[in-house]
A = this chain, B = another copy of it.
Amino acid sequence: MTVAVDANGADLGPREVAAAAAIAAGRGTRVLLFGPAAELGDVPDGVRVVDAPVSIAKAPDPVAAVRSTPEASIVRAARAVGAGEADALVCGGATGAAVAAGVFNIKRARGVYRPALALPLPIPGAPILLLDVGANVEVRPEHLVQFAFMGAAFGRAVLGLDRPRVALLSNGEEPTRGTPDLVEAHEEIAARAAGVSDLDFVGNVEGTQVTEGAADVVVTDGFTGNVALKLIEGVSGTVLRAIRDVATSSARGKVGGALLRPALRGLRDQIDPEGPGGAYLLGLRRIGVVHHGRFTRYGISQAIAVAERGVRERAVERTLQALEAAGALRRSVSASPASVSTPS
C-alpha cells in the first residue's frame, strides 16, 4: 500500500507535509512524497521523496496550470497514481487543481460521468457527508443520481455507515420542490434506490435539517454545495466568536467563560475539520483526498489515513458495484473511454 502525497499544498509549507508523511509512515503506510527535496529535511523509513520542486498551489487558474505544468508536484503525484506506482492521491490547497490533476492523470472510473468532491462536515452530533462541494458548478440530473450512489458507497466503505440515509439538498421537503433538474434527479434516485437495500433515500432536506441529522449523505450541485459549506464554516465561526466576545466583555462573563472552557474544548475537538482529513475525490479510478491548505500535520496525516482506508476497503470497486447495482452507470461507456471533462 503506497499513498502519493503532494508536499506543495500546505500553507505551513512542505516540511509540515513531510511531518504528516512521517506520522503515516509510523503507522505502517508507505508514502511517495512529491515536493522540493531540499526543503523536506530528513524523512523516516517508509517515506520516499521524489524531488518535484515546481508548485502550482498558488496559480490563479489551477486547471490551466495543471494542463501547462506537467512537472508540477501535484501533477507528478497524480501521474504516479494513474500509472499504478501508488494506490491513492493526497494533495491540498486549491480543489480545482486537485480535481483537474485527478481527472487528467488518474482518469474517471468507467461509467462515471463526473468526479465529485465529498466533504465530511463535522456538525456536532450529526456529521454528514456533503457532495458535490465544488468539482462541478453545473450538473445534470444523471450526475446528481451518481453522486447519491457514490456518496453512499463511500460512506459504507470508509465512514462506517451501514445503510446511509441519502438526501437531496433543496428549498423544501416535498419531492416537487427545487429546480426542474433537481425534481428529475429526485424521481430517478427514488426509483433506483427502491431496487437496492444498502441505501435509504430520505428525499429532500432543507438547510435547517442538514444540521439536525436528517441524513448521512447530502447531495447537491457543486455551486450550491460550495456556498453551503462556506456558509456553515462562516456561521459557526461567527456564532462562536460572538459568544467569545460576550465572555470577555465583562468580569462576570470572563469568569463564566473560564469555567466553560474545558467543556468547550471537547466541542471544538468534535467540530475540528482536520479530524476527517479533508474532502474526498470520488469517481476516479483510484481514491483522492484533498486536505485544506490550512491543515497542520495532524489533518494531513488524517488525509493519508483516509486514503489508505479507502484503498484497503476497496472503495472504488465497491462504488462502481453500487452504481451498477442501481443501474446508474453511464450507458455508452465504450463511446468515450478516454475523454475527460474539464472541472471548474
- Residues on A lying within 8 angstroms of B by beta carbon are 123-126, 134, 137-138, 169-172, 178-180, 206-212, 220, 222-224, 226-240, 242-243, 246-247, 249-250, 252-253, 255-260, 262-264, 266-267
A-B contact pairs, 7 of them (CB 8 A): A137-B179, A170-B227, A207-B226, A208-B237, A211-B231, A239-B240, A256-B258
Contact check, B263 vs A235: say whether CB atoms are below 8 A apart: no
Complex CA–CA separation, A258 to B264 (angstroms) = 15
Candidates B231, B263, B267; contact of A228 at CB < 8 Å = B231
Closest chain B residue, CB of each to CB of A250: B263
Q: Taking the full assembly, how many copies of this chain does it contain?
A: 2
A222 with B124: CB separation less than 8 A: no
Contacts of A233 in B (CB 8 A): 207-208
Check if A222 sits within 8 Å of B171, measured CB to CB: yes
**Are A252 and B262 also in contact (CB < 8 A) when A227-B224, A231-B232 are?**
yes
Partner of A211, one of B237, B252, B256: B237
Cross-interface CB contact of A252 among B180, B222, B228, B259, cutoff 8 Å? B259
Q: Which residue of B lies closest to A248 (CB)?
A: B263
Q: With A230-B206, A246-B266, A256-B256 known to touch, is A238 a contact of B211 (CB < 8 Å)?
A: yes
| Contacts A171-B226, A208-B234, A235-B235; A263 near B259 (Cβ below 8 A) | no
